[in-house]
Amino acid sequence: MTSQRVSALLLVLLAACGTPQDKASPGTVEIDQALLQTFQPLPDVMSTEANPITEAKVSLGRMLYYDTRFSSSGDVSCYVCHPLHDYGTSHRRTGVGHDGIMGGRNEPTVFNAAGQVAQFWDGRAPDVEAQALGPVLNPVEMGMADPTSVVKILDGIPGYVDAFSAAFPGDASPVTFENMGRAIGAFERGLVTPSRWDAFLTGDAAALTDAEKAGFSEFAATGCNQCHFGTYVGGSFYQKAGLVHPWYDTADPGRQTVTKSADDFMVFKVPSLRNVEETWPYFHDGSVQRLQDAVRLMAWHQLGKKLTPSQVESITTWLRTLTGPVPFEYVNEPTLPPSADGGGAAAAGN
């Protein structure tokens, strides 16, 4: 593991542990229970009948997630853009693909993503199984020529041939591009980070401080909960950026690139606010670094409201309760199967 990744790991551990003054007490502030009706705690896994989760499938998906051999330059993997030890984001303004090519949008975190309405900012992939395959063939990201070239690499790695057979025992030819997506998707469906907010929703009144409860009430009073609600505090539908006051940059047409409809100009998937404290920079273009600035801008552009500094700080205080600890054991770097020539057996990223 690199020193940079070790540093990130230590920072996350410290954040998860907190300090004595961070500990909540029952307090006296109450939240209107009616406001909580549209929020639900995270599931243990984000399952789907279309892709049943098995241990063999998850194990294979974890290896594929870390493997750089499925990029044209041999140095890009899912992990490179979505480092799991740092909340699934590289903190760059936009993604960087093979040969250092810059992408056009900010990289959404993969944590808690599988339960959302669709994937990517423009919703062009219906689920994480489809999303996992998009970057592999994207000329800006991993840059592989076609699915056949990917399968050829897989077939040349005996360990992967065995792993695909174990993960998809009912398939006559288990090593397929589609099954690659299913395996990565199965792994990503376990990337769940329950937080103190979930403990509160399930009945632990002491899970939040009075300041945090007041922050949620401010969040709702401002109207943020009109778009950011549900299990993932967002991620359930699409909305126009600049709903009330025009967005400050309209270079990216958003979902219009998918639907070709003028009605979808500057429309994007409402992002989940889970782990929002740790997944900067913000917005589809990664143009904002500070969470407080993101809150202020969203209130103005989406709701037409100018928040005071104290209102912004109150809302931000609650948003931090959505940060859950990274499941380090689940996301640990695997040992990758060696190529037929003996290469590629080292732990990923080393």
Q: What is the CATH number of the domain that holds 148?
A: 1.10.760.10
Based on the domain organization, do 126 and 209 belong to the same domain?
A: no
**CA-CA-CA-CA torsion for 307, 310, 312, 317, nearest 10 degrees?**
-160
Does residue 244 lie within any of the structural domains?
yes
- Is 237 a member of any domain? yes
Do residue 145 and residue 209 come from a single domain?
Answer: no
Looking at the fold, whether 29 and 77 belong to one and the same domain comes out as no
**Considering the domain boundaries, does residue 254 fall inside one?**
yes
Q: 3-state secondary structure string, 61-75?
A: HHHHHHCCCCCCCCC
Q: Rounded to two decimals, what is the model's pTM?
A: 0.89
Where is the domain boundary, 157, 191, 225? Answer: 191
- The reply to whether 215 and 313 lie within a common domain is yes
- Mean pLDDT, the chain cut into blocks of 10 residues (350 residues total): 40 39 61 95 98 98 97 93 95 83 90 98 97 94 94 97 97 97 98 98 96 98 98 98 97 97 98 98 97 98 98 98 98 94 50
Whole-number pLDDT of residue 342: 61
Question: Do 186 and 201 fall within a single domain?
Answer: no
> Do 229 and 103 have their domain in common?
no
Q: How many domains does the chain have?
A: 2
Kindly state whether residue 334 falls inside one of the protein's structural domains: no
The token pair that represents 263 in the structure block: 């009605």
Give a yes or no: residue 343 inside a domain: no
Supply the residues annotated as catalytic.
141
Distance linking the first and last C-alpha atoms of the chain:
6
| Domain assignment of residue 344, yes or no | no
Q: Is the Cβ–Cβ distance between 57 and 167 less than 8 Å? A: yes
Q: Tell me, yes or no, whether 336 lies in a domain.
A: no
Do 17 and 74 belong to one domain? no
Residue 88 and residue 166 in one domain: yes
Which two three-digit tokens encode residue 49?
Answer: 């009948």
Return the pLDDT at 3.
39
Q: Are 230 and 236 in contact (CB under 8 A)?
A: yes
Among 155, 173, 191, where does a domain finish? 191
Q: Distance from CA of residue 150 to its chain's centroid? A: 24
Q: Which domain holds residue 36?
A: 13-42+194-322
Same domain, yes or no: 87 and 183: yes
Of the residues 166, 191, 216, which one is the last residue of a structural domain? 191
Q: What is the model's pLDDT at position 2? A: 40
234 shares its domain with 315:
yes
* Judgement on whether residues 182 and 203 belong to the same structural domain of the protein: no
Q: Which of 102, 59, 79 is nearest to 4 (CA)?
A: 79
Q: Which residues contact 121 (CB under 8 A, 6 or more apart)?
A: 105, 106, 108, 254, 268, 269, 284
In this structure, are 172 and 115 located in the same domain? yes
Q: 350 in a domain, yes or no?
A: no
